[in-house]
């Protein structure tokens, strides 16, 4: 199967989860199917893979995984917290999630996730969601935009950027990613424009998190994942930014029952 992208930490994930024949595994963020393909291969003909994703476009990749998998499989379109909430307690052996935006979504310019392309200012993981990033930029007061950029993007110049957005939208509504990038560049100090990475990256992260309620979904999803696990079940979460990371670490600390990592793992 030609994967949409190379899955991150694939070997580490499989080593930690230790999928076995006959088990039921839930992939909360199917994406391009890279993690699911590896997990499904170990489940055998009596196992089951349950794939979940908010993005309906993953169906094309799911079909490839389902055809090659030795186990039964099913795909659910929706927020993984909601899908998990509908499952019975103790009904799965493995639950895992690869958080944040996928490279597949970043590469599709029309989705508006990337600051590298000129595209509609959208950022919805599920196209059926009502509110876009443009809606937030064009309707929220300066104080709320400042709070969003500071809280979810940890943006040092949140107030300057929010003020610049409000000033710009008085002339015309913001519609594209390039317009937002230019506002960020104009409103931050000159040295900050030439630091590591694109200066708009934290603003894009903050808007995406709010549009998709990513942290709310993660908080609910972790609790539901824990509930659906059987005794001896395994849960893994791959996080990318500090906000997710803190939530995941706090959750595992609260629910930890001693280390069960395989011998030789570099860090628990």
User: Which domains occur in the chain, in start order?
Assistant: 10-103+214-255 (3.40.50.150), 130-211 (1.10.150.170)
- pLDDT at res. 65: 96
């995984």: which residue's tokens? Answer: 65
pTM listed for this prediction: 0.90
Start-to-end C-alpha separation, the chain = 32
Question: 117-154: per-residue pLDDT in tens?
Answer: 999 999 999 999 999 999 999 999 999 999 999 999 99
DSSP 94-124: EEEEE-S--HHHHH-GGG---TTS--BS---
Q: Tell me, what's the pLDDT at 166?
A: 99
Contact assessment for residue 228 and residue 90, using Cβ atoms and an 8 Å cutoff? yes
* Backbone φ, ψ for residue 141 (5° rounding): -70, 165
* pLDDT band for position 1 (cuts 50, 70, 90): very low
Can you give the pLDDT at residue 54? 96
Yes or no: say if 97 and 237 are a contact pair by the CB < 8 Å rule.
yes
d(CA 26, CA 84): 9
DSSP assigned state of 58: G
Is residue 198 within 8 A of residue 116, CB to CB? The reply is yes
What integer pLDDT is reported at residue 49 of this predicted model? 99
pLDDT tens per residue across span 27-81: 999 999 999 999 999 999 999 999 999 999 999 999 999 999 999 999 999 999 9
Round to whole Å and give the CA distance between 218 and 29.
11
Q: Which two tokens stand for residue 43?
A: 């489940």
**pLDDT confidence of residue 2:** 46
């Amino acid at each position: 199967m030609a994967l949409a992208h190379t899955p991150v930490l694939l070997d580490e994930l499989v080593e930690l989860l230790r999928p076995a024949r006959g088990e039921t595994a839930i992939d909360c963020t199917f994406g391009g199917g890279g993690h699911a393909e590896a997990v499904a291969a170990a489940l055998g003909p009596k196992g089951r893979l349950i794939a979940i994703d908010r993005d309906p476009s993953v169906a094309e990749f799911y079909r490839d995984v389902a055809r090659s998998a030795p186990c039964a499989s099913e795909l659910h379109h929706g927020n993984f917290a909601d899908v998990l909430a509908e499952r019975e307690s103790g009904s799965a052996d493995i639950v895992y999630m690869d958080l944040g935006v996928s490279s597949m979504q970043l590469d599709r310019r029309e989705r508006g996730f990337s600051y590298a392309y000129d595209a509609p200012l959208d950022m919805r993981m599920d196209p059926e969601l009502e509110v876009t990033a443009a809606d937030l930029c064009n309707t929220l007061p300066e104080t709320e935009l400042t709070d969003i950029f500071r809280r979810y993007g940890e943006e040092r110049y949140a107030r300057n950027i929010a003020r610049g957005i409000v000033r710009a939208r008085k002339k015309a509504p913001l519609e594209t990613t390039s317009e937002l990038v230019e506002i960020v560049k104009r409103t931050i100090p000159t040295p900050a424009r030439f630091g590591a990475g694109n200066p708009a990256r934290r603003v894009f992260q903050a808007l995406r998190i709010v549009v998709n309620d990513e942290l709310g979904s993660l908080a609910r999803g972790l609790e539901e994942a824990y509930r659906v696990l059987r005794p001896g079940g395994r849960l893994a979460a791959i996080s990318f930014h500090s906000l997710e990371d803190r939530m995941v670490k706090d959750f595992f600390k609260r629910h930890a029952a001693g280390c069960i990592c395989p011998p030789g793992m570099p860090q628990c």
